[in-house]
Amino acid sequence: MPKVLISDKLSPTAIELFKARGIEADFRPGLEHDELIEIIDGFDGLAVRSATTVSADVIEAAANLKVIGRAGIGIDNIDLAAATKKGIVIMNTPFGNSITTAEHTIAMMFAAARQIPAADVSTQAGKWEKNRFLGVELYGKTLGLIGCGTIGSIVADRARGLNMKVIVYDPFITPERAVALGVEKVELDALLKRSDVISLHAPLNDQTRNILSAANLAKTKSGVVVVNVARGGLMDETALRELLESGHAAAAACDVFSEEPAADNVLFDAPNFIATPHMGSSTAEAQENVARQIAEQMSDYLLTGSITNALNMPSISAEEAPRLQPFVELAEKLGSFAGQTADDGVSAIELEFEGQVTELNTKPIEAAAITGVLRSILQDVNMVSAPAILKERGIPLVVSKTETSPIYESLIRVRVLTGKAWRRPAGAVLAGTPKIVEVRGIALEAEFAPVTLFTYNADVPGFIGALGTILGEADINIGTLHLGRKRARKQAVAIVGVDELPPHEIISEIRSLPHVRYAKVLRF
């Protein structure tokens, strides 16, 4: 039975769902870092929110961990690179709290525009400073969104309902998507100069860190309102305080800070500044949603291999999995064939897809092929870690697709450069079974036997008899035998499935046959 550790406060819904799916759930919020390291190797999955820091040393100690689930969007508290290298899938729930966070953004915009928190404090103190709190309308104003993913697009929709003009800076949004959302796509400088309100909706990474720098904040128009319900670290907090004190910024509202919990911050007590304690997703509905979603996603992966909302692995839906699985298996075996015969190392990989397989999500298939190749070099590699390891080692990867295939409905070819030669086995799924259909440019149809003897030899009479004699005298039984040749008495290949691993001296004897150019035992 798979075991999952829940190390942060999650709704009881998550525990109930894990148990209903046959997964043991250990609910232990508030673990110290050292305690987490001490126990993590006993679990297949780890479910967290933002309180648990899943650092490289935690991942190193996680000998059996297969998946980390973040009940929420941001994964700042998880070492993605270390997890990927270890082959651990990282999942989040990008949609479970989207509406809640978007609504909090709109609430913060209104609160800042009308100075509601300060007015509340003043009124409850017995003052009646009606003329002090002169606000501004949002109607007709320009809202600039830095980032327009799921949450940003919901904010855009709500803002358009308020008759605001919405402009967006997001390098990943297409012009067609911008039109569909009813927003104008602009460059960052244009957004800074035109926006009455700027709202951040970007993840925190190397490209977005400090995107509202002192220099960029200085480009904003006088009277700007700045809202951040996304991630601390996206803006220069000191520079923002200076703009608030000078009056250049009319107001600012932040739910997130560069250091959390924010017991103290340079923005605290700044004029017209509003702070909330990272509560953008804190509604009962959102907490139920993310708890249920992360438990479902982790359960699906641990029980069926289905992958949803992964940050370091292509998603594979439950509907896709049955159709993808034979091609994933084929690609890994072809990669293994190429890798095991790459005797001079691997310096480049090329993957070719032909026919109906090109209509599928080929990313998992590509990851499987890379895994097969690298397993001939490394033991600790899987579909999660393989692409990252390939990139780390500087091995180039080229993927090509052709919509038609001349012989088969679908064909996959794995090409591996070893020394100055290419190994290029090709395969197809025939009657639901992965088979190798081409080796060294020679056609044949062969199964991937667990123990396979592969030879490349001259096509001459007597070779098969000599091979059979050597194996027979060694009491090694032949299970399958597949032959292929380009034309008579030229080059040929033999793929022989045997029932046991031939000793090294038997392989040496086969290699010594006069017409054998290559012989090797492969394991699948």
Q: Are 191 and 169 in contact (CB under 8 A)?
A: yes
231 catalytic? Reply is yes
- Return mean pLDDT, the chain: 92
Count Cβ atoms within 10 A of the Cβ of residue 253 and give its class: 0-12 exposed, 13-18 middle, 19 or more buried. buried
- Annotated catalytic residue, options 60, 184, 242, 260: 260
Indicate the helix (H) or strand (E) that contains 457.
strand 451-458
Nearest to 523 by CA among 388, 383, 379, 397: 379
Domains, the chain, in order of start with CATH, read: 3-96+285-304 (3.40.50.720), 98-275 (3.40.50.720), 316-439 (3.30.1330.90), 449-524 (3.30.70.260)
pLDDT in tens, the chain (524 residues): 899 999 999 999 999 999 999 999 999 998 999 999 999 999 999 999 988 999 999 999 999 999 999 998 778 899 988 998 888 999 998 777 889 999 999 999 999 999 999 999 999 999 999 889 888 999 999 999 999 988 999 999 999 999 999 999 998 888 888 999 999 999 999 999 999 999 999 988 888 999 999 999 999 999 999 999 999 999 999 999 999 999 999 999 999 999 988 989 999 999 999 999 999 888 888 888 899 999 999 999 999 888 888 888 877 776 777 888 899 999 999 999 999 999 998 999 999 999 999 999 899 999 999 999 998 877 678 888 888 888 878 899 999 999 999 999 999 999 999 999 999 999 999 999 999 999 999 999 999 999 999 999 888 888 899 999 999 999 999 999 999 998 888 889 999 999 999 999 999 999 999 889 999 999 99
158 catalytic? Reply is no
pLDDT tens across 511-520, in order? 999 889 999 9
Q: How many CA atoms lie within 13 A of 376 on its CB side?
A: 25
Q: Are 297 and 273 in contact (CB under 8 A)?
A: no
Q: What is the pLDDT of residue 379?
A: 67
User: Measured between alpha carbons, how far is 361 from 316 in angstroms, rounded to an integer?
Assistant: 8
User: Measured between alpha carbons, how far is 92 from 304 in angstroms, rounded to an integer?
Assistant: 18
278 catalytic? Reply is yes
Q: Quote the longest CA-to-CA distance of the chain.
A: 108
Beta-carbon contacts of residue 14 (< 8 Å; ≥ 6 apart): 6, 25, 47, 71, 291, 292, 294, 295
- Annotated catalytic residue, options 231, 241, 413, 415: 231
Amino acid, res. 412: I
- Annotated catalytic residue, options 278, 413, 415, 423: 278
Q: What 3-state class would DSSP assign to 126?
A: coil
3-state SS of 472-495? HHCCCCEEEEEEEECCCCCEEEEE
